[in-house]
Copies of this chain bind each other. A is one copy, B any other.
């Protein structure tokens, strides 16, 4: 079944708001047997939305809209759907009563404008909104389905989980799409493509290659009449890829560098502390994004200057000998923070995050040091010399390398 998403809102076309609703919906459709073919962002203009709906009805089986269900004059989704399917809107007395009740419970009179939200066309069934005043619409007509949902993500998510997804699940009888993400590091996009070229020919399963901050990702997409069949078609390709490039793989599906690092630490029963310079706190912040990180994370120090590295146990003499941006100092930082915070594992990061070279090291040079129970490892990276890229890629690489060392050890 082909799906299409229309995200309403002039602010989306002005770039004032990033559309996060479409990816929320799109990511949930393949496992419901719906393949998204089109996503469009549409202005709060009746004419534009009617046009977009007519096109969507002509080419897709099911259309999802977000936004435009509020009470104000630029909330035009109800009217546009009415025009697109040639039906008139009328007040639904029971919806109007629900709305009055919503306001009554909050001790407020219902503004006249909200009457608009009690309107519907004969083919529309209201979808209750537990988080706000705007009911959604479920429209079925001439074998097409239109699902209109509110724009505020909290309202959308609740309506999706409580009402829309269960209904779609019950209807699903078509193709099921299964995906598998395989995440690599330390190999470039084209080198990886060459090594797995024998798997990239087919359309189903389809194999995509994507360069990301945390390395190059491979995604296998498989479609069949049942989930089991789709998985069976996918499995040999996954196996072949693991055989061909397993050395570079650090994770699958929703794995993140911080998640795999956290799992490895918890498996080993080790605690972690970090001393970071050019990543400026991002390493610690990324680690503490993991729920439950307090079980293994002892803490971190952002040691920007040489002085603060020395105060925290890195030898001044060795900084002078090796230069502060060196694998030796990264290892010393890792070791020093283990001692200072009484941790089993330490990470040290030193490098050039800014745009100009430092101590003869070009911008983008980063040295990682890892200390595991007194044994040190290190690596030098050359990253694109932009502050944000250096910070995020050095952080991701440090966490992935930590996982690698812990699982090898």
A: which residues have CB within 8 A of B? 10-20, 22-30, 36-44, 48, 70-74, 106, 108, 111, 113-114, 131-132, 152, 154, 158, 179, 181, 188-191, 193-194, 200, 208-211, 219, 221, 279-289, 291-294, 297-305, 308, 341, 353-355, 382, 384, 386-389, 391
Contacts and interface: CB of A to CB of B under 8 A. Distances in A.
A113 B11 CA distance: 40
A388 B297 CA distance: 17
Contact of A13 (B39, B73, B293): B39
Contacts of A16: 23, 27, 179, 181, 208, 210, 219
Given A71-B189, A74-B208, A285 B294 contact: no
Given A16-B208, A219-B11, A302-B281, A308 B341 contact: yes
A137 to B, nearest CB: 19
23 contacts: A12-B23, A12-B26, A13-B36, A14-B179, A14-B219, A16-B208, A37-B48, A38-B40, A39-B41, A40-B41, A72-B209, A131-B384, A154-B388, A158-B386, A280-B285, A281-B284, A285-B391, A288-B353, A289-B387, A289-B388, A299-B304, A300-B301, A300-B302
Kindly name the residue among A131, A297, A301 whose own CB sees the greatest number of chain B CB atoms within 10 A: A301
A281 B389 CA distance: 18
Q: Quickly give the copy total for this chain.
A: 2
Given A39-B12, A72-B193, A106-B382, A280 B291 contact: no
